[in-house]
């Protein structure tokens, strides 16, 4: 793409009520009223025909399929309306969430129950009860719908193997180890579990996606920065390189919310990631909410230097918008706090992009995106945030004539 500062989504959007309810039970016309309202905003011209079909069908599977297809269409159109250049898979409407969606499709794994993530957010954690393999395609059916409806470029975010393993209990893999200490057994179990996930689950999935026409796969690996020990980072690199081996599509890594050490360790290992064309990273979360392109105003972006210093030469997907609850203060020209949301002004987005450009040195290497998926934000907030990212990217572009 020749345009400077193209805008991309990173992954998920909130799931509308009608989508969630409609997968469990038949919907009424009233249930679809919100969808009707958004149909107008997003230009879904055939909404009434689709709604009629959804309301008419008595078959649960048919209804679920139509609802997932429709919510994917809505997600894609929301991104388009906001002016996003790469629309991903329309906000991951066909997935439960990034972890559980995959684990449910893995033979040998069982979901044990929910554990705390933060505040009132939880995730359903799985355990390996036997050797793992893929039960069925995970992302390919969704991609076929995306391909059918997307008007712009798309990429397929998938959950990376390192994260899948790190967020799971090792169960079968740890109990079969005979290492000398509990720690040694954990390390051995993780490697065996991880390489099985790569070979038996993730690579077959990528093959299916590539066969279906996917040209860009974003591998989400939020867990990697949680283990900055050298043996863990080397294991991550080994798994990444095994994952992408032999495929010719574009690959990018998305890693967010690193542990205390920040991105420093990932930066050190990033040049060893084969075929990694882009790193999409979270920065806005740790940045100030005031304008400026000086180091103090843009303190959240200082970790970018580590990647440049370490010799990573690919693109950066720059997190320029916060995706979680915000209860801090924001200067009036940098945006506004609306309830628990921060709406970044285009000028703040611009300054973040321009500051990053100073560090990276080449504006052509910088994409603009939210820190992470926007699944915890209401659609109107997501639309506004994304539209402001788009406007901010335009302002940054103007700087370069």
Give the binding-site size for another protein (rule: CB under 8 A): 42
Stretch that binds another protein, among 90-98, 203-211, 219-227, 353-361 (CB under 8 A): 219-227
Per CB under 8 A, does 178 bind another protein?
no
Per CB under 8 A, does 328 bind another protein?
yes
H/E/C letters for each residue in 68-94? Answer: HHHHHHHHHHHHHHHCCCECCCCCCCC
Per CB under 8 A, does 112 bind another protein?
yes
Q: Which two tokens stand for residue 167?
A: 């967020």
How many whole angstroms separate alpha carbon 145 and alpha carbon 150?
Answer: 9
295 or 325: CB nearest another protein: 325
How many whole angstroms separate alpha carbon 199 and alpha carbon 366?
Answer: 32
Residues 256-275 interacting with another protein (rule: CB under 8 A): 257-261
How many whole angstroms separate alpha carbon 313 and alpha carbon 275?
Answer: 11
Binding mask 274-303 for another protein (x = CB under 8 A): -----------xx-----------------
Q: Which two tokens stand for residue 121?
A: 């957010």
Residue 342: CB partners within 8 Å, gap ≥ 6? 289, 321, 322, 326, 328, 330, 335, 336
Residues 152-171 interacting with another protein (rule: CB under 8 A): 166-167, 169-171
Minimal distance, residue 182 CB to another protein, in Å: 5
Per CB under 8 A, does 231 bind another protein?
no
Stretch that binds another protein, among 5-13, 180-188, 194-202, 247-255 (CB under 8 A): 180-188
DSSP letter for each residue of 225-292: GG--SHHHHHHHHHHHHHHHTT--SEEEEEE-S--TTTTHHHHHHGGGSTTEEEEEE--GGGS-SS--
Q: Are 30 and 111 within 8 A, CB to CB?
A: no
229 or 333: CB nearest another protein: 229
Quick one: which of 80, 107, 123, 364 contacts another protein (CB under 8 A)? 123
How many whole angstroms separate alpha carbon 329 and alpha carbon 331?
Answer: 7
Closest among 132, 160, 172, 148 to 87, alpha carbons compared: 148
Bridge partner list, 342: 337
Per the listing, tokens 């505040």 go with: 119
Stretch that binds another protein, among 54-62, 115-123, 190-198, 308-316 (CB under 8 A): 115-123
Minimal distance, residue 229 CB to another protein, in Å: 5
Minimal distance, residue 139 CB to another protein, in Å: 21
Per CB under 8 A, does 325 bind another protein?
yes
Q: Which two tokens stand for residue 115?
A: 């554990």
Per CB under 8 A, does 147 bind another protein?
no
61 or 116: CB nearest another protein: 116
Per CB under 8 A, does 255 bind another protein?
no
**3 state SS of 349:** helix
Binding site for another protein (CB under 8 A): 112-120, 122-123, 125, 127, 166-167, 169-171, 174-175, 181-183, 186, 223, 225-229, 257-261, 285-286, 324-328
């Amino acid at each position: 793409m020749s345009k400077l500062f193209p805008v991309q989504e990173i992954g998920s959007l909130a799931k509308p009520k009608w989508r969630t309810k409609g997968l469990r039970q038949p919907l009424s016309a009233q249930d679809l009223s919100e969808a009707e309202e958004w149909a107008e905003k997003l230009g879904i011209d055939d909404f009434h025909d689709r709604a009629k079909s959804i309301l008419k069908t008595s078959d649960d599977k048919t209804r679920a399929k139509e609802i997932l297809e429709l919510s994917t269409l809505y997600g894609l159109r929301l991104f388009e309306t906001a002016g996003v250049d790469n629309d991903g898979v329309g906000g991951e409407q066909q997935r439960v969430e990034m972890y559980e969606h995959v684990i449910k499709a893995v033979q040998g794994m069982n979901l044990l129950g929910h554990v705390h993530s933060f505040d009132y957010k939880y995730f359903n954690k799985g355990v390996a009860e036997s050797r793992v393999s893929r039960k069925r395609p995970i992302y390919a059916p969704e991609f076929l719908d995306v391909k059918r409806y997307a008007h712009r470029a798309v990429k397929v975010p998938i959950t990376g193997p390192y994260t899948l393993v790190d967020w799971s209990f090792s169960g079968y893999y740890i109990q079969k180890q005979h290492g000398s200490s509990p720690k040694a057994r954990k390390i051995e179990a993780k490697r065996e579990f991880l390489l099985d996930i790569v070979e038996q689950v993730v690579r077959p999935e990528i093959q299916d996606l590539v066969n279906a026409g996917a040209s860009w796969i974003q591998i989400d690996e939020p867990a990697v920065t949680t283990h900055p020990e050298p043996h863990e980072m080397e294991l991550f690199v080994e798994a990444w390189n095994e994952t992408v081996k032999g495929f010719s599509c574009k690959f990018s890594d998305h890693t967010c919310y690193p542990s205390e050490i920040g991105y420093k360790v990932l930066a050190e290992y990033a040049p060893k990631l084969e075929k990694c064309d882009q790193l999409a990273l979270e920065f806005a979360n740790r940045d100030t909410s005031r304008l400026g392109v000086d180091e103090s105003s843009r303190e959240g972006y200082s970790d970018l230097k580590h990647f440049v210093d370490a010799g990573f030469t690919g693109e950066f997907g720059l997190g320029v918008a916060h995706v979680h609850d915000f209860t801090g203060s924001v200067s009036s020209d940098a945006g506004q706090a609306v309830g628990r949301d921060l709406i970044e002004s285009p000028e703040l987005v611009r300054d973040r992009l321009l500051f990053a450009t100073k560090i990276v040195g080449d504006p052509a290497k910088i994409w603009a995106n939210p820190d992470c998926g926007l699944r915890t934000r209401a659609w109107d907030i997501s639309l506004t945030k994304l539209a402001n990212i788009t406007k901010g990217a335009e302002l940054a572009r103007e700087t370069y004539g």
